[in-house]
């Protein structure tokens, strides 16, 4: 501890503080993803894989209707859930982040939205079953109100139930960032625009919405990353009718087809990379936050 100037000493200190975390991420995050890419080119035998390189699994993926279909299903569900979380979440965020004058009320509402996040994810998924089922709460209420004669069966174990479930679970991740950005808007700008005679619609499209855009992008990234990697909600609420890329990975690993699981994993990784990079092009987050 005697040699070296104070500044190099502090540099090595910074290095030592960072080293464990960086090594952990390289060993247990970067290396595993590299491994998925590598194994996607391995040879699959009935119950094992060996490291002879081949394109077989890739060819299998693109020649199978079921697998390519899962890719399209994933893209479709992702777009629908993303749109719904935005449409449903934005008005709520607008109220919580901007329209509520009292800071306390705004905080309470935000906490109310976040509390479900602390409860078990699987229980939240499961909670939709007694809601949506043929004898579920929604059907019973609709029948009591006389709106329908016979129960709607398509509510559960369909693509619709997966969309409803995912929207409810992930909408919070859209509301949070948008409300945060709206809360930071300087109220004087809005007052000034109002004094100059701008109506609410004009104020919203010219001031409020552009200023909240970084929140929308962060929310969209959160929702996209989670929905694209999903398999539990689709498995539990669709009765295995809806197969996402994540579901394919799970079934392939279940039957020890590690090479095919890896191919799907690589496709999922590429998809995520494109989506996240695309969103980051809309807004430069480094300048905004």
Partner 1 sequence: MESKTLKPILAVYVAAFILFLYGPFIVLGILSFQQGPEGGPQFPIIEWSTYWYKHLFGLTPPSRIAPLPVGEALLRSLTLAFMTMVTATVLGVMAAQAFRRRFRGAGIVFYLIVLGMMVPGVLTGLGTSLLANNVVGIERHWWTTAFVTHVVYTFPFAFLVMLAILNRFDGSVEEAAWSLGVSPARTFRKVTFPLIFPGVLSAMLFAFTLSFDEFPRTLFASGRDQTLPLAIYGTFSVEIHPNIFAFGVMTTLFSFALLTVYGILMGLSVRRAKKIAMQEDIS
Q: How far is the CB of 252 from partner 1 (least distance, A)?
A: 9
89, 95, 104, 142, 230 from 176: Cα distances, Å: 9, 12, 16, 32, 21
142 scored as a contact of partner 1 (CB under 8 A):
no
200 scored as a contact of partner 1 (CB under 8 A):
yes
124 scored as a contact of partner 1 (CB under 8 A):
yes
C-alpha 193: how far from chain center:
36
Segment contacting partner 1 by CB under 8 A, of 78-86, 87-95, 146-154, 212-220: 87-95
Give the nearer residue to partner 1 in terms of CB position, either 40 or 216: 40
Q: Are 66 and 151 in contact (CB under 8 A)?
A: no
Q: How far is the CB of 133 from partner 1 (least distance, A)?
A: 6
Q: How far is the CB of 281 from partner 1 (least distance, A)?
A: 16
Q: Which residue has the tokens 């709460």?
A: 137
Q: How far is the CB of 134 from partner 1 (least distance, A)?
A: 8
Segment contacting partner 1 by CB under 8 A, of 74-82, 181-189, 211-219, 262-270: 262-270
In the structure encoding, which two tokens stand for residue 217, read together? 């992008």
# residues contacting partner 1 (CB under 8 A) = 83
202-241 residues in contact with partner 1 (CB under 8 A) are: 221, 225-226, 228-232, 235-236
Nearest partner of 105 among 183, 214, 189, judged by Cα: 183
172 scored as a contact of partner 1 (CB under 8 A):
yes
Strands (E), the chain: 43-44, 49-50
Task: Indicate which single residue of 4, 8, 12, 29 sits in contact with partner 1 (rule: CB under 8 A).
Answer: 29
Nearest partner of 174 among 221, 227, 121, 119, judged by Cα: 221
Give the nearer residue to partner 1 in terms of CB position, either 164 or 216: 164
Nearest partner of 218 among 171, 177, 271, 250, judged by Cα: 177
């Amino acid at each position: 501890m005697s040699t070296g100037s104070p500044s190099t000493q502090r540099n090595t200190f910074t290095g030592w503080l960072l080293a464990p975390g960086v090594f952990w991420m390289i060993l247990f995050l970067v290396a595993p993803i590299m491994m998925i890419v590598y194994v996607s080119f391995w040879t699959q035998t009935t119950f094992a894989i060996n490291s002879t390189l081949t394109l077989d699994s890739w060819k299998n993926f693109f020649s199978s209707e079921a697998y390519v279909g899962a890719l399209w299903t994933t893209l479709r569900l992702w777009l629908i859930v993303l749109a719904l979380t935005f449409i449903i979440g934005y008005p709520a965020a607008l109220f919580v982040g901007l329209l509520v004058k009292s800071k306390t009320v705004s905080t309470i509402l935000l906490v109310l939205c976040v509390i479900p996040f602390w409860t078990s994810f699987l229980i939240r998924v499961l909670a939709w079953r007694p809601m949506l089922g043929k004898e579920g709460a929604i059907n019973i209420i609709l029948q009591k109100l006389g709106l329908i004669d016979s129960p709607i069966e398509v509510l559960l174990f369909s693509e619709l139930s997966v969309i409803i479930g995912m929207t409810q679970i992930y909408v919070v991740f859209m509301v949070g960032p948008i409300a945060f950005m709206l809360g930071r808007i300087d109220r004087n700008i809005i007052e000034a625009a109002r004094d100059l005679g701008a109506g609410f619609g004009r104020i919203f499209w010219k001031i409020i919405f552009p200023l909240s855009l970084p929140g929308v992008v962060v929310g969209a990234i959160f929702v996209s990353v989670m929905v694209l990697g999903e398999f539990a909600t689709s498995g539990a609420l669709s009765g295995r009718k809806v197969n996402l890329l994540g579901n394919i990975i799970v079934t392939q690993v279940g039957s020890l087809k590690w090479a095919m699981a890896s191919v799907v994993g690589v496709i999922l990784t590429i998809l995520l990379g494109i989506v996240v990079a695309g969103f980051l092009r809309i807004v430069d987050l480094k300048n905004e936050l």
